[in-house]
Chain A
């Protein structure tokens, strides 16, 4: 169910798009209205979500220290895994966001021999995760060619680099292959590794299928079922200049592709995909470990919470203290008066 429903959902969405292009006005709806809505939902949702997070304060400074802290001058601090300054934190965050530092940590080999199945799989997760994210990024950037006229030079360079493996037409982009491969790996991993299977939810499979759908339709368009790129570019440029028009016969596959992309954009802010934003705000990573050096303020700190007071403590134990020669603030009262003055202090049920 967890796997099947999301799969069927994606298939259903594809069918909807295929039917949609054929009904009158459908192309305008899918090609013009929906993209605007999706962009709106994505940016709006994203911003709202991040603002929602930001609305909650960070009451305590709780970095996870993953190395030696700043300490005595001759003890070498691990400035990236246990940063105490702004720049240290920046470095840590960069490593985390750009290189998935924590996932990589998995692979830190043990000094023990032993074949490394458990470690192996973790290393793969890091590698494939990184591959997936970077391929996705490159592909997104590559798509900028559709929106720009003329294309900036760096896009040419990127495309050249991405297609370097093969000469000929059409060029095969490495990232296309990597993206699909990585998605299949991540999917297979969820099915095969029992401990990952048990934790996986429908919300984990759905984005996998959705992105896979986007990738496959994209690849189909590029290499197998040709679509009218000129019209697409015209539409894309039109979209960004707020004068969109659909001319010519673009081909239904493009609309399926676009529809799935729009769905992804709309789905994004409501899903776990928001880890894109969350990783920057995670208090165990983005705070400096300097809580003994600099006071961190908790906005809802309650000044009315007071300790059981020393006075009440001394009142309860004064006699013992005096007897044991421990200094007291108030000397013992006269034995008679003492009974009367017995404190109304809190007395724990645990009687001494």
Chain B
């Protein structure tokens, strides 16, 4: 009797095409169809959402079905869309032409490292689109077709796009290593824009975008709810510190408008970060206001198309103008800061009704934000720390052994690397870096950015987050790190899930939570717990 192979022992001996995404490797990648199965795609956008955004082709559809109910002329729409974008974005044009397929990016993508799917190599992700570009927009491709790496736009190609442009978190890690700076984030953005043209999008992105447009935030929190929630946070602060804080909302004439992701005022563990903000502003007596109209830092338009990004982002300046503030302070968020740093002024500036940000406490003028007039909370706090304007008791964070996760966008689209570290080192005593090739500009994504933080693809997210989790595991084992700090709202939600699965025993917190914990407030009572009501080192137990 022949001995069966071990991998045939399972019930499902029919070897799945691949472990996750349906790529059969034996054939050329162009001939490998994708297969949608529960768990490997995000739910499509509801009809009502597509209608709300006035996007084309609203309908109910199923990615697993053979018919996606595309418009009859969908191919022309896509090809025209490519042409339009080639004319609008030099980046797109150059990235389509320049790749030499050297493979330097291949093993830099967390999705590839976690899934092993070749189409998750950044170069192949781009080739999905580039092959169509070659076929229809280049001389060589028009003549030689497939021999020149060209490929006709077919339904199978469209399916590939939907699969793999939603397995990229636009983290830009590949772009760091590319000799021509080819940025897969740009290509993914183009790919997603093109998909929206024929009504292919995900609900997890379009619905928060709709909420954000209407209520001002992704969560769909209405004005009174925002105030109420922040009120709860203030109650907790009073209970923990004995200090009563009464923040203001939509107040005209405040010096500073503060905007942070709405997850910070609603969801754990972001709320502890929000408590940190509240304590900090109270501590320094900052003249600031929250806004309920512009109550979202994040911008899911970045994951949709640039028109939507502009529309959602425009609220910030509009509100700053209406309230007559001098400048804007932004909370901890990743993609929010990509939009603010690289797009906002261009899209919705000039902000000539604002003044160059100047810290009212230290007098520091934030020259690096002279035009956009928006400052990151870590920059702001690092400045306060440097000038010794904060009364701190770092020992209150002694129960935490910390490491810091650089979020993709602040690291690779902003270059904000040292500010949060300066803050952490000032407010806490136990800090250890993760290995060098997993932090700073080489940081690994949480695996769930760009609107992929939805639970229907939880397995996929865990795999994509493996490179990050693995580095956390390392410092957890080596230095007993028990807290992963970060400056991103999506991270706070998704890293928590990630470490819950891979490295139980590690918590996730925002940097401002650590600040809040360490701040010695005027008139406070003796603290017995941290902001999460967790016992402090030496207290309790």
Contact of B214 with A347 in the complex, beta carbons under 8 Å: yes
Contact of B149 with A203 in the complex, beta carbons under 8 Å: yes
- Residue in B closest to A102 when the chains form the complex, CB atoms: B179
Of B312-320, B394-402, B446-454, B518-526, the one contacting chain A is: B312-320
Some 24 contacts from A to B, beta carbons below 8 A apart, are A56-B87, A65-B441, A67-B415, A72-B419, A105-B176, A195-B121, A198-B29, A199-B106, A199-B121, A270-B139, A272-B98, A275-B99, A275-B100, A278-B97, A289-B415, A291-B372, A294-B370, A296-B345, A300-B88, A301-B310, A310-B319, A327-B252, A348-B215, A349-B51
Contact of B91 with A58 in the complex, beta carbons under 8 Å: yes
Q: Collect the chain B residues with CB atoms within 8 Å of residue A297's CB.
A: 346
Contact of A327 with B441 in the complex, beta carbons under 8 Å: no
In the docked arrangement, what's the CA distance between A71 and B178, Å? 26
A positions within 8 Å CB-CB of B = 5, 49, 52-62, 64-72, 74-76, 78, 81-82, 84, 96, 100, 102-103, 105-106, 108, 110-112, 118, 122, 125, 129, 193, 195-196, 198-204, 270-272, 274-275, 278-279, 281-285, 289-298, 300-302, 305-310, 313-314, 316-317, 320-321, 323-327, 346-350, 352
Contact of B90 with A69 in the complex, beta carbons under 8 Å: no
Contact of A326 with B368 in the complex, beta carbons under 8 Å: no
Q: Given that A326-B250, A327-B251 are known contacts, is A317 also in contact with B103, CB under 8 Å in the complex?
A: no
- Residue in A closest to B172 when the chains form the complex, CB atoms: A64
CB distance from B401 to the nearest CB of A (A): 19
Contact of A68 with B417 in the complex, beta carbons under 8 Å: yes
Contact of A53 with B292 in the complex, beta carbons under 8 Å: no
- Residue in B closest to A5 when the chains form the complex, CB atoms: B147
CB distance from B126 to the nearest CB of A (A): 10
Contact of B210 with A201 in the complex, beta carbons under 8 Å: no
CB distance from A66 to the nearest CB of B (A): 4
Q: Given that A125-B104, A292-B372, A294-B371 are known contacts, is A313 also in contact with B293, CB under 8 Å in the complex?
A: yes
CB distance from B28 to the nearest CB of A (A): 8
Q: Given that A270-B138, A289-B415, A301-B347 are known contacts, is A323 also in contact with B224, CB under 8 Å in the complex?
A: yes
Contact of B343 with A66 in the complex, beta carbons under 8 Å: no
In the docked arrangement, what's the CA distance between A352 and B28, Å? 50
Contact of A69 with B342 in the complex, beta carbons under 8 Å: no
B positions within 8 Å CB-CB of A = 25, 28-29, 46, 48-49, 51-52, 86-95, 97-104, 106-107, 118, 121, 123-124, 127, 138-140, 147-149, 172, 175-183, 186, 207, 210-211, 213-216, 220, 222-224, 227-228, 249-252, 292-293, 306-307, 310-315, 318-319, 322, 340-343, 345-347, 349-350, 364, 366-372, 374, 379, 382-383, 386, 411-419, 422, 435-437, 440-442
CB distance from A302 to the nearest CB of B (A): 7
CB distance from B80 to the nearest CB of A (A): 16
In the docked arrangement, what's the CA distance between A55 and B87, Å? 7
Task: Identify A292's interface contact among B93, B98, B374, CB under 8 A.
Answer: B374
Task: Identify A295's interface contact among B251, B319, B349, B418, CB under 8 A.
Answer: B349
Contact of A302 with B104 in the complex, beta carbons under 8 Å: no
Q: Collect the chain A residues with CB atoms within 8 Å of residue B223's CB.
A: 317, 320-321, 324, 326
Contact of B415 with A106 in the complex, beta carbons under 8 Å: no
* Total inter-chain residue pairs, C-beta < 8 Å: 328
In the docked arrangement, what's the CA distance between A55 and B90, Å? 8
Q: Given that A62-B342, A281-B94, A313-B216 are known contacts, is A72 also in contact with B379, CB under 8 Å in the complex?
A: yes
Contact of B216 with A284 in the complex, beta carbons under 8 Å: no
Contact of B183 with A293 in the complex, beta carbons under 8 Å: no
Contact of A282 with B118 in the complex, beta carbons under 8 Å: no
CB distance from B18 to the nearest CB of A (A): 13
In the docked arrangement, what's the CA distance between A68 and B93, Å? 28
Q: Given that A59-B346, A64-B172, A307-B311 are known contacts, is A72 also in contact with B383, CB under 8 Å in the complex?
A: yes
Contact of A293 with B90 in the complex, beta carbons under 8 Å: no
Q: Given that A64-B183, A129-B102, A284-B181 are known contacts, is A274 also in contact with B97, CB under 8 Å in the complex?
A: yes
In the docked arrangement, what's the CA distance between A281 and B207, Å? 37
Contact of A308 with B90 in the complex, beta carbons under 8 Å: no
CB distance from A102 to the nearest CB of B (A): 5
Q: Collect the chain B residues with CB atoms within 8 Å of residue A275's CB.
A: 97-100, 179-180
Task: Identify A106's interface contact among B104, B147, B148, CB under 8 A.
Answer: B104
- Residue in A closest to B116 when the chains form the complex, CB atoms: A195
- Residue in B closest to A202 when the chains form the complex, CB atoms: B147
19 further A-B pairs in the complex, CB-CB below 8 A; given A285-B180, A292-B340, A307-B313: A72-B419, A78-B415, A196-B103, A272-B98, A275-B99, A275-B180, A278-B98, A282-B181, A283-B181, A292-B369, A293-B370, A298-B347, A305-B310, A305-B314, A307-B213, A308-B214, A317-B223, A349-B46, A349-B52
CB distance from B217 to the nearest CB of A (A): 11
Contact of B93 with A52 in the complex, beta carbons under 8 Å: yes
Contact of A204 with B101 in the complex, beta carbons under 8 Å: yes
Q: Given that A72-B386, A279-B98, A326-B224 are known contacts, is A346 also in contact with B90, CB under 8 Å in the complex?
A: no
Contact of B441 with A195 in the complex, beta carbons under 8 Å: no
Q: Collect the chain B residues with CB atoms within 8 Å of residue A313's CB.
A: 214-216, 293
Contact of A62 with B413 in the complex, beta carbons under 8 Å: yes
Q: Given that A203-B140, A283-B90, A292-B372 are known contacts, is A321 also in contact with B179, CB under 8 Å in the complex?
A: no
- Residue in A closest to B231 when the chains form the complex, CB atoms: A324
Q: Collect the chain B residues with CB atoms within 8 Å of residue A106's CB.
A: 104, 177
- Residue in B closest to A351 when the chains form the complex, CB atoms: B220
Contact of B181 with A64 in the complex, beta carbons under 8 Å: yes
CB distance from B366 to the nearest CB of A (A): 8
In the docked arrangement, what's the CA distance between A60 and B213, Å? 23
Task: Identify A103's interface contact among B179, B343, B364, B437, CB under 8 A.
Answer: B179
In the docked arrangement, what's the CA distance between A321 and B250, Å? 10
Contact of A59 with B89 in the complex, beta carbons under 8 Å: yes
